[in-house]
Amino acid sequence: MMPSNETRAGAGRTTFGQIARRCAVALAAVAVMGSSPVQAHPERPNLLLLNVGDLLGGVVSVEYERALASWFGLTAGVSVWTFRGLYTPLGEPAYTGISPELGARFHFIRDAPGGLWFGPTLSAGYLFSSSTGTLNRVWSWGVGAAVGYNFIFGRHFTFQLGVGGGFTDYGDRIVWSPRLRLGLGVAF
């Protein structure tokens, strides 16, 4: 006999565990339904992507990933902050600058650099200007994380879909920025 909704502890509340399970099931379903028929092969352990999703945040970015094991890859990239993006509130300053980024990727389901991945990143940046006209300092640093899926079609064409975000310290403020991982590139 099942207890009624009134007698169950926490009825009507969604716990963190339930949310985590639902997210894991959703990610697994997307990965299985959308998986590429071609896996990354040992002769193509490199991935080069232009992340067009970053344009929503006013950023132009290029990323390189090198698979070091079937489950692990290292990334290096560079982002150029160019204009006020959709994620910058109107009252906050926008910055122009350049930011190299290093990261790690842990791959699931497919061999690196393809398939489902999760990865943290570290970045350092040089600021050229601020929309306020003044800079507290000319350098910045940041940490972030993302989750996504790299689809490798045919021998080389690659499409990346994912989400992430990070915190960047500009000297006078620490800013949270979401990031849409919508990349186009090649595996080689």
**Bigger pLDDT: 116 vs 6:** 116
59: Cβ–Cβ under 8 A, 6 or more apart, which residues?
79, 80, 81, 82, 85
Average of pLDDT values for 25-30?
51
- pLDDT one-digit tens code per residue, 35-69: 444 444 456 799 999 999 999 999 999 999 999 99
What per-residue string of b and e applies to 29-67 under the rule 16 or more CB within 10 Å gives b?
eebeeebbebebeeebbebbbbbebbbebbbbbbbbbeb
At residue 171, what are phi and psi to the nearest 5 degrees?
100, -50
CB distance 39 to 110 below 8 Å? yes
Half-sphere exposure of 6 (CA within 13 A, CB side): 0
Q: Above 90 in pLDDT, residue 152? A: yes
Q: Which domains does the chain have, with CATH numbers?
A: 16-187 (2.40.160.20)
